[in-house]
Amino acid sequence: MELLWQGLSKLVRDPEVLEITLFTLQVSGTATLISVLIGVPVGFFLATKVFPGRNLVISVVNLGMGLPPVVVGLWVSLLLWRSGPLGMLGLQYTPMAIIIAQGIIASPIVTGFSAAAIGQINPKLQLQIKALGASRWQLIWLMIREARLGLLAAVIAGFGGVISEVGAAMMVGGNIAGHTRTLTTATVLAVNKGLFDVAIALGAVLLTLAFIITALLTVSQQKGRYI
């Protein structure tokens, strides 16, 4: 506890901490949003359509849900290096590189949870909605609304997956002060320097930030139980 208070006293005097916290929230939030825009439609498709190779695709998604972040960071780095296929974009060691890597990490998580949530809906409901003359978009909206609790769980899981990862952010972002440093990479740097009080304090800030965002999403999810 003493180390925690010592670290917090140092962080309060460091203006960079607020910048790192806001940057972490920015990149993790953007990556989560991208994963939702990709994962929910793909999950909906996998849950409602039958096609050859569907089980294989679902297996790949399930594998991606446990994909090690360092592996994602390695492959994204290979793509973004100057000699890589996307090297001409100049994205290596930029915030966008972190967003791309974290988006790749979160997308399978959101997809898998979304497919499971929509797959739990009674198939007869879809037939009833069609029988009432609903358009395709109305059908999609009603089914998403029916599965909203599970979809919010997908968002929570996706956000949790990206805000806590360090390997990919370190590899593709480079942990550059004032540019690509996140709370997780700053914590690793503090440990490497032997500043354990600062590392513990940064961990506490990260946990607090993750708790606040997750709590807000959870409140929204639980309100949905009574709508």
Mean per-residue pLDDT of the chain: 85
Q: List the structure tokens of 107.
A: 């997308």
Residue type, 55: N
- At residue 59, the pLDDT reads 92
Q: Tell me: the pLDDT tens digits for 108-152?
A: 999 999 999 988 887 777 777 777 777 778 888 888 888 888 888
Residue 37 burial (CB count, 10 A): 13
Residue 176 has pLDDT above 70, yes or no: yes
For 2-226, CATH number?
1.10.3720.10
Residue 22, C-beta contacts closer than 8 angstroms, at least 6 positions apart: none
pLDDT band at 13 (very low <50, low <70, confident <90, very high): low
Look at residue 205 and tell me whether its pLDDT is greater than 90: no
Amino acid at 220: S
| Helix, strand, coil abundance in the chain, percent, nearest 5 | 80, 0, 20
Q: For residue 97, count other CB atoms closer than 10 A to its CB.
A: 27
Predicted model pTM: 0.87
